[in-house]
Amino acid sequence: MYYYHPKFWIFNAFCAEAKLIGNLVSMSTRERIKAIQKMPETMKKKREIRNSLSEYFHQLQLWHKTLKIIGGKFGTGVLSYFVFLKWLLTFNIFSFLINFSFIAIPQFVAAEPNNLSFTGLELITGAGYFQETILYYGFYTNATISKTENGASYNMQLAYIFTVGIYFVICLFSLVFSMTKSFRRNFINPQAYSGNASKLLCTWDFNITNEKAVKLKQKNLSTQIKEALFEVNQEVLNFSLKERVVHIVIHLASWVASLGTAVVACAGVYFLSINNLELFMKERKNDLESQAAMLVLPIVASLLNAFIPFFYSWLGLLEKFQNPRHQIYVTITRNIILKISIVGILCYYWLNIVAASESQCWETLVGQDIYRLVLVDFIFCLLGCFFGEFVRRIIGTTVYVSLGVPEFDIARNVLDLIYAQTLTWIGIFFSPLLPGIQMISFSVVFYVKKVSLMMNCQPPRKVWRAAQMTTFFIFLLFFPSLVGVLSVIAVTVWRLKPSKECGPFRGLSSMYAAISEWIETLKNYPGSEWVVWIYQNLFQSELFFFILSTLLLIITYLYWQIIEGRKTMVKLLRKQIINVSLTFSFLLLKFGFFVDCLISCCAVVICFSYDSVGERHLTEIKMTSLRDFPI
C-alpha cells in the first residue's frame, strides 16, 4: 500500500488547475464561457475558476493594479494622466522595435568601427562618441547592404523612408481609431444616460472574493459616486450684470497675458537658437566643449515650459471657474499654445536655418538638438516632482499650514507628456533610436509620479468626473501634435536637400528622390508594372488625393450624422422611459385612491329572522362601513 504526502496532492491539484487555466486562456471568449458552463463542478468552483482567469488577464496588463489604486484614491481625473502615460509608452515601444529591427540591425552589418573615445559627457550632450553610432541619421549608409555578392540585398534608403513612413501611418490610424472609440464611449454611449441608479445598484462585481480587491472596489465605486453627485449637486450661480462684466474683463485680460507670455517666450527661444548656431559655426568645432555650449537652448526651453504653466495655473485660479473641468480645459489650451509655439519656432529654426547652414551633416545636428531637448525635459520633470510637489508639501505642512498639501496638476503634467512625445516624433527621422530613450524616460516618470502622488499629493477637494478628458488628451495628441509632426516630416522629405557627406540619402536632390529612383529601376523588371502603375496613377495624381479626401469627408459626415441620430434616439427613448414610469406611477396612485374610497364607503346590512314555520321576516336595516363588515 502506497502512502502519498498531503503536499503531493496539493501540488497535483495546483498543476491541474494551472493546466486548466492554460487551456481556457487559449480559447476565445465564447468558447471559454461554454467550457466553464459544461464543467461538472459546483458553482463555487466555477466562480473560483473565473476569478483565476480574471487575475491572469489582469496580470498581463501593464500596471493594472497600480492604476486601480490611483483611480480609487484620487479619482478619474488623476487616473486619466497615468492611463495616457501608459498609452504613450506603448507607442514608443512599438516605434523602437520597428526602427531597431528594420533600420538599426541592418546597419550593424555595414557599420565601420567607431574611433572616437567615450568620456561620459555624451550622455548629456548627445555628441562626441554618439555621433558615430546608430543613434543618429548621419551614421547610416546609403549603400545596398549585402553579405554575399549574389545573395539578397537590403536597400537602406528604402528601408529608412518606408519604416518611418509606415510607422507614422500606423500612428495616424491608431490615433483616429482611439479617438473615435473614446468619443463613442464617453460622449454617445447610451450608458451615459442611465443615471446614477445603475451605478449604485448594478455596478458591484460579485465575483470579487479577495478582501483587498473588495476594499479597492468599494473605494473606487465610492469615488465614482462622489464624482457623479458633484455634477448633479453643482449650483448654477446667477451673477448680476456688473459681475458678468467683471468676469469677462478678467477672462480677456488673462488670455492677453497668456498669449503675450507665449509670444515673448517664442521670441527668446528663436534669438537664442540663432546665436547658438552662429557660435557653433564660427568655432568650427565638433568636440564636446562646443556641443556642451548648445545645452543652453534646451535648458532655457525647459525652464520656460516649467515655470510659465505655473503662471497659467495662477490665472486659472484668478478667473474662478465654477466647474473644475472648464478650468483644466482653459489651462490646457494655454499650455498647448505655449508648447506648440516653442516647438514650431524650433522646427522653423531647424528646417530653414540649420538645414541651410554650412554644417557637414545638418540632420545629425538636428538629432542632437532634439536628443538634448528630450533629456533636459526629462530631468526637469524629475526636478518638478521634487520641488513642485515634495518641497511644496513640506512648506504646506510645516511653514505655511494654510497652504495645505498640494493637488496633482493634471493640465501641466499632461501637456508635458504631449510636448515630450511631439519632440520624439520629430526626432524619429533624425535619430531613429530616440523612442528607446523616451521609452525609458516614460517608465521612470510613471514610477516617480506614482510615488510622488502617493506621498506628496492629496485627493482633489472637488471630486469631479473626468472620463471625457481622455478623449480631449487624444485629440490634442492628434491635433496639433501629430498633424504638425507630419507636416515637418513632409517638408523634410519632399523639399529639403539632404547633406552631401552623411546619411542614407547623401547625393540626392531630396529624400523622396530615393523612391523615384527605385520606381525607375522597377520598370526594368518584368512583373513589377503594377507597382509602377500605382505610383504613377495614384501617388503622383492630384485627382486621386482629391477623390480620397472627398470620400474621407463624406464618410466623416455620414458617421457624424449617424452619431447625432443615435444621440437623438437615446434621448427620445429616455423620455419615453420617463413618460412610461410617470404613467405607471399615476396609475398606481389612482388605484390606491380607488381602494381607499372602496374601503371607506358605507354598506347596507339587512338582517332577517326565521319563525317556526320557516318564513323569513325583516328584523333590522342598518348602515355600516366596509371596514366593519365581516367578509
Average pLDDT over residues 285-305: 78
Cell 479597492, residue located: 216
Average pLDDT over residues 329-357: 90
pLDDT of residue 2: 44
CA 260 to each of CA 308, 340, 416: distance values in angstroms, whole numbers, following the listed order = 11, 15, 21
The residue ranking higher by pLDDT, 543 or 631, is 543
The residue ranking higher by pLDDT, 271 or 611, is 271
pLDDT of residue 166: 93
How does pLDDT run across 387-426, given as a tens digit for each residue? 878 888 888 888 877 777 888 888 788 889 999 999 999 9
Of 95-109, 451-465, 593-607, the poorest mean pLDDT is in 593-607
Residue-averaged pLDDT of the chain: 78
Average pLDDT over residues 561-581: 82
CA distance 487 to 340: 13
How does pLDDT run across 146-163, given as a tens digit for each residue? 766 666 788 899 999 999
93 neighbors 441 (Cβ within 8 angstroms): no
pLDDT of residue 459: 73
Binned at pLDDT 50, 70 and 90, residue 292 comes out as: low
How does pLDDT run across 471-489, given as a tens digit for each residue? 888 888 888 899 999 999 9
CA distance 329 to 475: 12
CA distance 347 to 352: 8
- pTM of this structure: 0.78
Of 35-49, 309-323, 394-408, 572-586, the poorest mean pLDDT is in 35-49
Helix or strand holding residue 154 (H, E): strand 154-155
Cell 501629430, residue located: 482
CA distance 474 to 85: 11
Cell 528594420, residue located: 102
Taken in order 200, 205, 208, 212, the sign of the CA dihedral is negative
Cell 513632409, residue located: 490
pLDDT of residue 101: 92
216, three cell numbers: 479597492
CA distance 432 to 156: 13
Highest-confidence range of 186-190, 434-438, 507-511, by mean pLDDT? 434-438
Average pLDDT over residues 491-495: 92
How does pLDDT run across 164-223, given as a tens digit for each residue? 999 999 998 888 888 878 777 766 554 444 455 555 656 665 555 556 656 666 666 666
Has residue 377 got a pLDDT over 90? yes
DSSP code for 629: S
Has residue 383 got a pLDDT over 80? yes
Binned at pLDDT 50, 70 and 90, residue 598 comes out as: low
Could you tell me what percent of the chain has a pLDDT over 70? 71
Average pLDDT over residues 592-603: 60
Average pLDDT over residues 495-502: 90
395 neighbors 401 (Cβ within 8 angstroms): no
333 neighbors 255 (Cβ within 8 angstroms): no
Binned at pLDDT 50, 70 and 90, residue 437 comes out as: very high
Virtual CA dihedral for 289, 343, 467, 184, nearest 10 degrees? -130
CA 139 to each of CA 166, 321, 369, 459, 496: distance values in angstroms, whole numbers, following the listed order = 22, 53, 16, 49, 19
Query: In whole angstroms, how large is the CA radius of gyration of the chain?
Result: 35
Could you tell me what percent of the chain has a pLDDT over 90? 25
pLDDT of residue 418: 92
Has residue 9 got a pLDDT over 60? no
Alpha carbon 69 to its chain's center: 18
Taken in order 351, 357, 360, 364, the sign of the CA dihedral is negative
Binned at pLDDT 50, 70 and 90, residue 442 comes out as: very high
Average pLDDT over residues 80-95: 90
Q: What is the largest CA-CA distance in the chain?
A: 144
Alpha carbon 241 to its chain's center: 41
Has residue 257 got a pLDDT over 90? yes
Highest-confidence range of 75-79, 323-327, 473-477, by mean pLDDT? 473-477
